[in-house]
Structure 1
């Protein structure tokens, strides 16, 4: 997924990858401040930057790289963001709370990249706020490339969309699908109940695949699992791009036969995970 074409015709861009310190070195000062030193670069050749933005430190490191490149009057042809913090805060919830997405978007815009790729940006709000941005729909890419096309296990797949909002993003072409729903307490946000609308779609003895962009604590998916088991599927799997918490991964791994995640948020391939969890690599 890291393969990108340069918007600047005729050049193969130089690469700075903040996730593995390719083209740069990240150190930490005694007070905790992150400090980035960029390797020597050919100022005539554009640069592509790869990063995760999971916290303020990651955002500050990106700002430092952009500062170095802009002072050397270099072109940043592409900025690839594997995970972007605040993408779920995509509107102003309350007059006394910040519009976090806009704050992050303003900083990303200040980098001045010719093109910005955001992996599973959660909603169109991120793309509207960030200039020259495109969404990389990794969940569906991995679903087709790693699950459907090889189909080594002769799966008879029915896609499961966790809510109606997922239809526009994850409705599969040429495959049956069902839609679920959930109810939250409007005051606390606590999940109260789950529904499954299979309609006329046959799910018994099928391989159900729940598709979504993100798993945080895992509550939605754990709550849906018993409802989906009532349909008597042959297997029940979950595929998400962004996996945030280790405990959330462990919870869904107990509820599902197979769980597929990526290393967009963290290098989960280096962590001790349950045996039924597979990590696809956004970052190689």
Structure 2
């Protein structure tokens, strides 16, 4: 097996340590000092030579700060190694993968150029928002799935005749796979989102979920608008409890509280983004991919 050194950025230090333990590699921490004007200064110890350096840093909010920190670490460690891999468990800007409205910039492509210029040879990410975003990075990239470890967590929970629900048709494939692994039924709701205002509307008619526990499955939750609308709709259908399963729980603007207020019993996410809902560890999924 190739010799690795793992470097943990500030946003993913715990996950980076877990990955280092699993691949039996040295772990090097970074230190960050934030100045009053918002600038960050990153300090890193010397990297052992003749190893593949794996920099682990999610780019969740503050997205730009975490991205710049990742770029800074990579630019430093590439002086010690000709092979630098960027493990970006949550890839910010992956939703900006095409020009939805005239004049919009495909920012994920810009991110790819920056990573390549800094010295990244390969990118490893978890449940990226779209395959198109992966292509737009234009660097050797691998996307791994957290679905199996999420399903494993739900199998341990006592649920009554569960149904897997996708909050929109775009996530139908994910819901199908989740339901197959869980060995249960699935449904996909129809939703409409206003591209300018961001407001969400559920278009589905009645669904048969009476007295059944539901698992709303998504790759990521930001403001929670889709989850809230879906939960309110499903609660009217006389369902039992509603759980949320996602890989990346951004939960911005007090989203967790709003989702709970809508009637969700529990949000369960992975540690691609640390937080209260991060109950599922993806270090083995990432480590297996590195090996």
Q: Report TM bin, short chain.
A: 0.7 to 0.9
The separation in 1 between residues aligned to 2:116 and 2:160, in whole angstroms, is 43
Aligned to 2:8: 17
Higher relative contact order (CA 8 A, sep 6+): 2
Aligned to 2:20: none
Aligned to 2:232: 226
The separation in 2 between residues aligned to 1:241 and 1:260, in whole angstroms, is 8
SS in 1 for 2:247: strand
The separation in 2 between residues aligned to 1:58 and 1:100, in whole angstroms, is 15
SS in 1 for 2:71: helix
How many residue pairs get aligned? The number is 260
Aligned to 1:273: none
The separation in 2 between residues aligned to 1:281 and 1:253, in whole angstroms, is 23
After superposition, the CA RMSD in angstroms is 2.5
The separation in 2 between residues aligned to 1:16 and 1:71, in whole angstroms, is 14
Aligned to 2:287: none
Moved more, 65-74 or 161-170: 65-74
1:179–1:196 CA contact under 8 A, matched in 2? no
- Displacement of 1:64 in angstroms is 1.5
2:7–2:54 CA contact under 8 A, matched in 1? yes
The separation in 1 between residues aligned to 2:280 and 2:202, in whole angstroms, is 31
Aligned to 1:272: none
- Displacement of 1:252 in angstroms is 0.8
The separation in 1 between residues aligned to 2:7 and 2:91, in whole angstroms, is 17
Aligned to 2:280: 280
- Displacement of 1:112 in angstroms is 4.2
The separation in 2 between residues aligned to 1:70 and 1:133, in whole angstroms, is 18
SS in 2 for 1:217: coil
- Displacement of 1:187 in angstroms is 4.8
* CA 32–236 in structure 1, closer or farther in 2 if over 3 Å, else same: closer
Q: Confirm whether residue 214 of structure 1 aligns to residue 213 of structure 2.
A: no
More helix by share: 2
SS in 2 for 1:36: strand
The separation in 1 between residues aligned to 2:101 and 2:166, in whole angstroms, is 29
Aligned to 2:209: 203
144, 154, 163: which one aligns with 2:151: 144
For each residue in 1:19-69, what CA deviation from the matched residue of structure 2 results, as whole angstroms up to 9, or x when unmatched?
A: 355422222345432222221221112211110113222121111112112
For each residue in 1:205-249, what CA deviation from the matched residue of structure 2 results, as whole angstroms up to 9, or x when unmatched?
A: 221100001212212111111221233223211112222215111
2:7–2:55 CA contact under 8 A, matched in 1? yes
2:217–2:244 CA contact under 8 A, matched in 1? yes
Q: Confirm whether residue 240 of structure 1 aligns to residue 240 of structure 2.
A: no
1:194–1:224 CA contact under 8 A, matched in 2? no
Unaligned 5+ residue runs, structure 2? 14-27, 285-291
Aligned to 1:274: none
Q: TM-score scaled to structure 2, two decimals?
A: 0.79
The separation in 2 between residues aligned to 1:84 and 1:222, in whole angstroms, is 24
2:74–2:120 CA contact under 8 A, matched in 1? no
Q: TM-score scaled to structure 1, two decimals?
A: 0.81
Q: Confirm whether residue 63 of structure 1 aligns to residue 71 of structure 2.
A: yes
177, 185, 188: which one aligns with 1:179: 188
Q: Confirm whether residue 118 of structure 1 aligns to residue 86 of structure 2.
A: no
Aligned to 1:83: 90
